[in-house]
Structure formats: C-alpha cells, structure tokens
Structure 1
Amino acid sequence: METIAERLKSALESLNEASQKANRAPNSVQLLAVSKTKPVSDIVLAYEAGQRLFGENYVQEGVDKVKALQQLSDIEWHFIGPIQSNKTKLVAEHFDWVHSVDRRKIAKRLSEQRHDSCALKVLIQVNINEEPSKSGVLPNEIDELAEQISELPNLQLRGLMAIPASQQSSHELLDTFAKMQHLWLDLQSKYQNIDTLSMGMSADIEPAVLKGSTMVRVGTAIFGARN
C-alpha cells in the first residue's frame, strides 16, 4: 500500500504533467490537500512530505485540527465547505482562506469577526452550472457580491471557486471550466489581488489546469478513500 508521502508525490507529478501540457509555468498551480474526515496524524505525514496547504469542509472538525497543529505555524488552512451563519466566528478566527463565500450576510459576519491583523482571504463560490441544489452565486451575481466584499475591512477578495456539475462529458467539462476562466479574468480586470481560481479535483485536474485553474483540490488521491 502506498504511503501518504508517495501518493502526494504522485499527485504533484500529475499536476506538473497537466501544467506542462497546458504550457503553464512550473508551480503556477497550487495543490490544496483536502483533509476532511482524516486524522491529524495523516495531515502531519503530508506536512512532513512537504505539503503546506490543507482544506477542510466541516467547521468544528477543521477548527479542532487547526488547534491541534498550531505549532506548525507555516500551514495554510483553507475552509472550502458551506458556512452557516452561526459558524462564521469559528471560521473567521481560525482559517487563513475561505473558498465558499456566496452571500453578503456571510461575508459581513466573517469581516466583523476577523480580529487577526491579517485580512481573511476569500473566494466567491460560483454555481457555474446553475444547479438548484448547489451553493454559490449565479454568474450574473458575481459583480454585486464582489463589490460588497471589497467594502469590508477585514476581507481580501482573491478570486473565484467552483464545483462543476457531476457526470458532464469531457467537452461539457472543458466548457464549464472555460466559463469560469472568463468570469475570473473579468473579475481580475476590476479588482486588485485577484490571483486565485480554485477549480479542479482529483478526476479533472487536466482540463481545469488547461482552462486556467491556479489551485486544485485533491483529497482521496493523497489520503485515500474517506472513512
């Protein structure tokens, strides 16, 4: 059985191959290791193998891990799951990034409850395929939310995140990622610091990187199947 270090190495190699095929510069796409449901010991193994960016989906589980590993001061913690209003304080106090901001109320609470001297870096989650059951703003709502976030003192808008609809053909998936890239470039033309397009997971790294992703979210390929 492969170790976490070996699987991490394979994931990075796959990411580098995808970047080369897309004629992207080396290290222009970051790997976010999604560690939800995995024990702290697994995160430590990935850390020891060189990984520094970790993503969590569940607030309390993520906070517990942040506290348990606070001695590893160079870990960058990303919250990537849906946020309920009653959990914004925990997210604002413990995470470095939030990928899943999709309404002004949540953004406002995160800003008010962020007391760190460093602004909380946020991405707007986009419901790019306009699925009724999925979180995220619709593409035509990005500008309004971006403007609202830009006025909040303790947040720094850094870009967009999306989770494409499942069971798309390879052509449909490329089209989805291309739409996200267009929206991201449009946002970049309007605001400073827009440098992050979070899209692509284990199964679709190559098309995501081809269409401009700057951060891919990989869990199972590094940590194995979820418990």
Structure 2
Amino acid sequence: MNSLQLARAHVLQQIQEACQQIHRDESTVTLLAVSKTHPSEALREMYAAEQRAFGENYLQEALDKMQALQDLSIEWHFIGHVQRNKTKHLAEKFAWVHGVDRLIIAERLSSQRESHPEPLNICVQVNIDAQESKDGCQPAEVAELVQQISRLPHLNLRGLMVIPAPNNPQAFIDAKQLFEDVRVQHAHPELWDTLSMGMSADMNDAIAAGSTMVRVGTALFGARDYLD
C-alpha cells in the first residue's frame, strides 16, 4: 500500500471502531474524501484505493479536476458555500450539493438541473450552534425550508449538513434531533437519509450522534497545501 491507501484504510478502521462502540453497522456511514487544494494525482491514487466520493469547496478547482479525471467514475460533492452565480455549474456537473441554505439557491439548482438525466442530491446547511463566521440557515428555519424545497423538481432533498465549532459534541446531538424532527414533515421521507457531519478531528463524536456521512480531508490527504 502507498501512503494514501494506508491513510484511507486507517480512516475506515476508525469509522468501523466508532460504529462498533454504539453497535451500529459501519455500512451506514459514508466516507466523503475532502480533496480541496490537493492535486488531481492524489485523487487518482485515492480512487485506486476504491474511494469514489470526493468533496470539493472551490468551483473552478473542482471543474479543472473533473476535466483531468474524466476517465474515472467519481461521485462529485460540492461542500462549499453556494453563490447564486455558481449554481449553473453546480447543477450541471455535481451529483451532490451540501451547502444549500436559501430557497432561491434551491430554485436555481432545480431549474438548471432540468436537462440532466438524474436529480441533484442536496443537503440543507444549518448553522447548528449559531456561529457568526459560519454559513447556514437557522435551526428554526429548517422545517419551512424543507417543505418549500421538497416541492421543487429535479432535486432529491436528502438531509442536513452541519459544521459545528470545534469541541462541541452537543451540536452533533442537536443536529441529529433536528434531522429526526424534520423527517416527519418531509414530502418524501424515504429520501431523508443523510446527516452530513463530522471531519477528521471529530468524526467519532459525529458518528456516535448519528452522522451518515463524514467529510474527511486531513486524515486522508495530509495537511492542505492552500492555493494562492
């Protein structure tokens, strides 16, 4: 195994052990490899290690990687802040968008996904612990936003995404409770299956609280080499 394969194996073991502690099937947690700022070659190596889902924060960087890696069957997730002027590319190029926090964004994604054969999977981003520096709607806004987005065509509203402050495991518990509370109001509850939360430093707490998708970058690829 090379270093990236070993890193992925270690992260998968960590997920397995976290699930075992709470008597949970490890297959209920998806590993999303956060590959922002890492070169296409690193993604290709991780793909060779059987990783298929990759998360990107920066649109142009992601589009460049899509071009370079078009021979691979990658499931692309956009996990950055969604700006109005970027929705067309997101709707056309990605399988998932995690950062939807306003109805207007969902409406644009819906209309711009129309020609695509598959619906776009989306998550509502929630500012679960009221951080001033974080994007996301307020918890009290989620139920109404879910009802509104559920009516839009060409989208599959799959769940919630949160980025709590460090060392705040209660935020994961709160997110799980909100996730369950909203499920009963979802127009398509069978699709409401994704709680995207937990990163390299806090995935154990997130999994214990009920995360179904952990977004891991540093533990897989090492420290980020930020682009100028």
User: C-alpha deviations, 1:159-204, integer Å up to 9, x for none?
Assistant: 00000013x3xxxx22111100001111222222100000000111
| 2:104 paired residue number | 105
Q: What letter corresponds to residue 210 of structure 1 in structure 2?
A: A
| 1:217 paired residue number | 215
**Secondary structure of the equivalent of 2:77?**
strand
Distance 1:83 1:174 in 2: 26
Does the 8 Å CA contact 1:159/1:187 hold for their aligned counterparts? no
Does the 8 Å CA contact 2:147/2:185 hold for their aligned counterparts? no
Q: What letter corresponds to residue 98 of structure 2 in structure 1?
A: H
Does the 8 Å CA contact 1:96/1:121 hold for their aligned counterparts? yes
**Secondary structure of the equivalent of 1:41?**
helix
User: When the two structures are superposed, what TM-score results if normalisation uses the length of structure 2?
Assistant: 0.94
Shift of 1:67: 2.4
User: C-alpha deviations, 1:110-146, integer Å up to 9, x for none?
Assistant: 1111121100000000000111221001000001211
Q: What letter corresponds to residue 143 of structure 1 in structure 2?
A: A
Distance 2:72 2:156 in 1: 24
| 1:133 paired residue number | 133
Does the 8 Å CA contact 1:53/1:76 hold for their aligned counterparts? yes
Distance 1:188 1:182 in 2: 10
Distance 1:226 1:45 in 2: 16
| 1:59 paired residue number | 59
Q: Structure 2: which 5+ residue stretches go unaligned?
A: none
Q: Structure 1: which 5+ residue stretches go unaligned?
A: none
Distance 2:42 2:149 in 1: 35
Does the 8 Å CA contact 1:187/1:194 hold for their aligned counterparts? no
Q: What letter corresponds to residue 176 of structure 2 in structure 1?
A: Q
Q: Which moved more, 1:122-131 or 1:188-197?
A: 188-197
| 2:124 paired residue number | 124
Counterparts of 1:116-195 in structure 2 under 5 Å? Answer: 116-166=116-166, 168=167, 173-191=168-186, 192=189, 193-195=191-193
Q: What letter corresponds to residue 222 of structure 2 in structure 1?
A: G
Distance 2:84 2:46 in 1: 31
Does the 8 Å CA contact 1:162/1:199 hold for their aligned counterparts? yes
**Secondary structure of the equivalent of 1:201?**
coil
2:202 to 201, 204, 215: 204
| 1:48 paired residue number | 48
Aligned length: 220
